[in-house]
Structure 1
């Protein structure tokens, strides 16, 4: 299944525009709305409060916190949040999970600052525990290095797919062992060195765990300009995508799917900004339908 989405702002000041953009994306037939998770910034909306309201204002589109700041959200409570959103929306949710990176900011919130090794071990534990706490079944007792629950009944609702934002080799291996999707960090795409060296780590870890690497989707955060006229160059000298006309976007994304196995794309504006309404319309009405049609099996 292909996933086409749009990244929206978490700024408190942009809340009215964000609501309008989410409704526009839903009506235009996009698959995903994504928001980031930085709860230590006072000028940002809480990610799960925001995604809940956006899903409540929409009818078909799914929500994704890209990615959940796991050190600030205990996995047992995260499981309750995510299964509740799934129940309330008819399954319109994907669970994004991240190791956490801005540790000084995380510590300012009152959470324990972990070493990189501890953070990765906690990340794997967190994904495993969340997955145990959905789909019904017997009560769960989990006694990990970082997380513990005792005789806790799982929600009857299934836990949605888990996508990670893994960057380092150890967290990439966690993705291969226990996750369902990967969103390459730093807006890296299928032609980047980061992708070329990272995806094999995921694939090897998946095989070593007895999994099929093809079951782990790669979905890209993909920033760029959508212009009325073609650009002479669609990529910068360093290889990063700049953008271009809808036809140039379509050609690029078709190649990503058919030649590199891309499973989806989330549109951002230049530099990771929120796309404006014009760009969002061109994305949803011109680019996405053409890519879907060309890559349909």
Structure 2
């Protein structure tokens, strides 16, 4: 088994406890503000201790703006597929394309039957699920002219009108473990969603094999099916990276109702896994024969030899948001010019490209911080509402909801810089003394950025107690943008070629 190459996603699996509905919603908002991609809830309609999942999904969609939402997984025996199709499409339209559809064939048949649902044996349940998927997809297909006609044994839609279509291509993810369900996943689904706690050693590989073979027989590619996994707390980044690279998993969903665990998963585990997987995907495990020429030359350019290097650094736009200046950019030293006769393998070039990928994730996160501040200023996210979640979130210094995301981002930046200071920079100094002044300057800038991050933290604390503290927070984040974006561009300009030439230790 190997990596299917899907972009990584990280989500949460929250218990829809009816005893404390405010906490459930607060955890959902926390997951979004912490930077997770997905929030899911189990669906057990026969459980009186749980909120109704589809009602909860609708409420959660209204309280969030970015995160995707799904049942994990929908109990189809108690959710008629034609009605479910319209519910999903409607909520997807209302939420601007943020709803996915996890589906299950059913379990706990005594409870299902007590609620008026049918009692099915395993084979019947799989057939009913396949019929349900067909009805759902037909109702979403508004391009067809004829009415829907699925005359199944367990589910029927005979003459139903099509629509509405969802706002985006909703993924249908099956919670599957047995061969018939796995084969159905390969034939008809967009994702496989098991739970790690229910799997034995070898089950992932065996499941992938059945799914992949069924997909090929149906004229599909195995990569058409995303591989998701519910996990528990305590999984180390390297373990999850191994599951991605060796076992094909690309979406990790943490089952926890602990806000501290959620924050740690988003702020520490997810970024570390992304880096490990990005490195693994760009570093072959064994030499791969390639046609000649197998190297790329750094072609000389009269204007700037750096500009012609195969990996292009992100230029500094020169735009500055803040009037505060924390360093003299003109005093930055430069490293050695490119050797036009030097060639680089694809593997060597991947080192510099990975640095840019890491930086791009930091740039994207920074834009989201600005977006959050804009929402508060525009009134779409008010401080009073955010403060109502403080007890659940237990944030450092009693920061409010916006603080959750900023704290996560600051930790990511600090971790990234610490790794460079302790391992990468000493290696570059030893390997090429001509880089010493550049590395010294980069380290000095790391210290300045740390102080700027501390200024963001202080502004967040002030905002909690001072309703008029938003301008100070915006000014602190503007300064962070100026310093960080300038630094990232400088670092890429000076290091992408040395990383290719000297490697990483």
Mapped to 2, the partners of 1:169 and 1:260 lie a distance apart of 18
State which of 221, 229, 245 in structure 2 corresponds to 1:212.
221
In the alignment, is residue 56 of structure 1 matched against residue 62 of structure 2? yes
Q: Is the 8 A contact 2:134 2:150 kept in 1?
A: no
Instruction: Name the structure 2 match of 1:252.
Output: 239
Instruction: Name the structure 2 match of 1:233.
Output: none
In the alignment, is residue 199 of structure 1 matched against residue 181 of structure 2? no
In the alignment, is residue 223 of structure 1 matched against residue 232 of structure 2? yes
In the alignment, is residue 30 of structure 1 matched against residue 36 of structure 2? yes
Structure with the bigger percentage of strand? 1
Look up the SS of the partner of 1:93 in the other structure: coil
Mapped to 1, the partners of 2:9 and 2:159 lie a distance apart of 37
Q: Is the 8 A contact 1:184 1:195 kept in 2?
A: no
Q: Is the 8 A contact 1:188 1:195 kept in 2?
A: no
**1:257 Cα offset (Å):** 1.6
**1:204 Cα offset (Å):** 1.2
Residues 168-214 of structure 1 deviation map (CA, whole Å, 9 limit, x = unaligned): 1111111110001001246346x833223222111111111111111
Mapped to 2, the partners of 1:185 and 1:118 lie a distance apart of 23
In the alignment, is residue 283 of structure 1 matched against residue 291 of structure 2? no
Instruction: Name the structure 1 match of 2:161.
Output: 153
Instruction: Name the structure 2 match of 1:170.
Output: 180
Q: Is the 8 A contact 2:38 2:68 kept in 1?
A: yes
Mapped to 2, the partners of 1:135 and 1:129 lie a distance apart of 10
Mapped to 2, the partners of 1:23 and 1:199 lie a distance apart of 33
Q: Which has the larger radius of gyration?
A: 2
Residues 30-56 of structure 1 deviation map (CA, whole Å, 9 limit, x = unaligned): 111110111111111111111111111
Structure with the bigger percentage of helix? 2
Q: Is the 8 A contact 1:140 1:153 kept in 2?
A: yes
Mapped to 2, the partners of 1:51 and 1:192 lie a distance apart of 34
Unaligned runs of 5+ in 2: 1-6, 282-505
In the alignment, is residue 127 of structure 1 matched against residue 127 of structure 2? no
Mapped to 2, the partners of 1:216 and 1:12 lie a distance apart of 34
Look up the SS of the partner of 2:19 in the other structure: helix
Mapped to 1, the partners of 2:108 and 2:208 lie a distance apart of 24
Residues 228-286 of structure 1 deviation map (CA, whole Å, 9 limit, x = unaligned): xxxxxxxxxxxxxxx4xxxxx22222222222221110012xxxxx3311111111111
State which of 260, 263, 276 in structure 1 corresponds to 2:250.
263
State which of 97, 100, 114 in structure 2 corresponds to 1:91.
97
Cα RMSD over matched residues?
1.6
Mapped to 2, the partners of 1:152 and 1:47 lie a distance apart of 25
State which of 150, 170, 178 in structure 2 corresponds to 1:142.
150
Mapped to 2, the partners of 1:188 and 1:4 lie a distance apart of 20
Mapped to 2, the partners of 1:20 and 1:267 lie a distance apart of 16
Look up the SS of the partner of 1:85 in the other structure: helix
**1:8 Cα offset (Å):** 0.7
Q: Is the 8 A contact 1:187 1:220 kept in 2?
A: no
Unaligned runs of 5+ in 1: 226-242, 244-248, 269-273
Mapped to 2, the partners of 1:195 and 1:254 lie a distance apart of 15
Q: Is the 8 A contact 2:131 2:150 kept in 1?
A: no
Q: Is the 8 A contact 2:233 2:261 kept in 1?
A: no
**1:83 Cα offset (Å):** 0.2
